[in-house]
Structure formats: structure tokens, C-alpha cells
Structure 1
Amino acid sequence: MAVAALDPEILEELRTGCATNAIPTVLDYLSLTLDREYLTADGDVPSTTAVWVGRVRRIGRAKLTVWGLSALVDDVQLLISELVTNGFRHGSGRHITFRLVIGAGLLLMEVDDGSSVRPQLRDAGTDSLSGRGLFLVDAIASSWGVSSDGTRTWCTLNPLEQERRSECGAACLSAIRAPSL
């Protein structure tokens, strides 16, 4: 079995997302290089490229299930959708690379889209059909950032933190839905 070496910036991103500032033990590492077609005349991602977003989500779900992290599937699939779609939409070159690192107590997702234009949070108008991707990443991920050269966007999830968030979210929803007496 071949073992892929993690580059220094990915290791630093893992360290940043870890509460003890130590590099967590890497349990699983996935790297997929995907062909990127140019946007259509309307500025949309071509359907032959967009189909990869769903495929990568399913691969992510399978990896999490194998490692007993099924509770994170919904959040991870949403994060994968946003990062990969942004890579296809805003990247440069013919490929993007998606990486998923499952560590002890930490998950890292990263997309290298080859573009040096740094993604930024923006305030999408209420009528806008797009522009909320990084807002969702910011809301769901434990941390997120962009590599120093702007080509890679990453986010982390801390499984224990996500579990607490889910419990708080469920409790809040129950309280909102509970009839008042």
C-alpha cells in the first residue's frame, strides 16, 4: 500500500485545527484530481463537470462511514459541495484537486483550484441565486482558510465540536417547535 506524504502546508492546517496544536494522527488520506471544463457561455459549470460534485460527496460519505463518522456526513457533504463547486467555478487551469484527510479528532477538506485569486466571504443579496458558499463553509466548519499563494481553500471539522453543535441545534429546534403553555 502506497502512503501519500502530506505537504507541509496541509500539516500546518491540520495543526491549526487541532485543539492541542499538535498534528493529529492521520487515519486516512484521499486525493482526487478532477478534470475541469471551462464555464458555459452563461457562466455555469458544465454538467459533465458538475457530476463530479455528487461523486466526490458519495466518496466522502463512504470514507466517513468506514471510520464510524456517519454523524458528520451531512456537514461534510455540504462542505465538499461548496469547496468543489467553487473550485470548478472559480479555478484556473484544466484540473482541480480535492483532498480529504481524516485524522484522530479532526477532518480536513481542501480544494486546489490553481487560481491565485483569494476567495472571500461576501454578502449575497436576498434575491441572489449564488454567493453563499463560503458563508456556509464559515458557519459549518470549525475553521477554514486559504493557502498563502491563494490556490488552495481548506476547512476543518472537529468531530466532537460538530457533535456538540448538532446537539445544541437539535435542542434549539425543539425549543422553537415546542408549543408554549
Structure 2
Amino acid sequence: MALFYFKAFHIVGAVAWFAGLFYLVRMFVYHVEAEQKPTPELREAFKAQFNLMEWRAYKIICNPAMMLTWTCGLTMTLLNPGYWQMGWFHVKLAILILLTVYHLWCKRIIVQLEQGKNPFDSFQFRLLNELPTLFLVSIALLAVLRDTLNFLYAFGGVLVFGVLLFMFAKAYKKRREG
């Protein structure tokens, strides 16, 4: 029975983690676009506000949600060590490690923006904001379909989905600018 509680809170943590990451990178877009404000005072005020919001989202939403996700997930593997024998689990774990790297990279971006360095333009941040979508689709497919999933087809499908997201983003940018 405990396994089900940990699974439920694992899902809650994952949902909150993804929500936080989507929100955080969207704020990066607005932070960079604050450079377009008409006066230096307005630019600095907007950038300071976005930086405050970025840190709060990272520390109050993303970090606790990531920790809840990892803690409950690892606890589930202690309660059911059979997970370690399943191929889908190794792939999911690898994707979660990559998601954690993305999470930590976002912290680095907050610091860079705080220092006045823009590592990307707003369009590149919009593309970066779609990366968790690929993680989410991959993790959901692995968690639900497990061993019935052909990993090669799944990887190809996620790759195609990523290309479609990129094409949609490019078309949206062109429409906004045109």
C-alpha cells in the first residue's frame, strides 16, 4: 500500500516540477524582452522583477518538486527493487538525470541573467521552453507503456515530435514578426 502513496506523490512532484520549469523558462523570455523597454529605468525595473520571480520559482517550486519526485521515485525502487531489472526503468532514469541537468542549467541561466548576460535571445528561450515537453512525453510513454514500448520507435517518435515543435515555433515567430 505504501508504494501507491509514494507513486501518487511522485506524480504530484513531477507535475509541479514540470510546471515550475515551464514557468521559469517563460520568465527567461520576458526577462530578455525587457531589454526592449523604452527607458533604462523601466528596463532595469522589469529585469529586477523578473529575476526575483525566477529565483522564487526556482527555489520555491522547482527545487522542492524535483526533490519530492526523486525522493518518492527512489523510495519506490526500494519498495519494489524489481524496477532495476526492467529496461524501461533504465531509460526513464537516464531521462530523469537529463531533466535534472536541465533543471541545474536553468539555475545557471538565472545567474547569468542576474549578471546582465543574455545567453540566448527570446526566440531561443522559447525553443528551450519546449525541451521539457520532450522530457514529459518520453517519461509518460515509458511510465505507461513500459515494456510494450519499442524504445527505438519511441525515440524516433519523440525526435519527430521535437522537430514538429521546432517547426511550429519557427512558423509562430515568422507570423509574429510578419
TM-score, scaled to structure 1? 0.32
Which is helix-richer, 1 or 2?
A: 2
Q: For CA contacts below 8 A with separation 6 or more, give which structure has more relative contact order.
A: 2
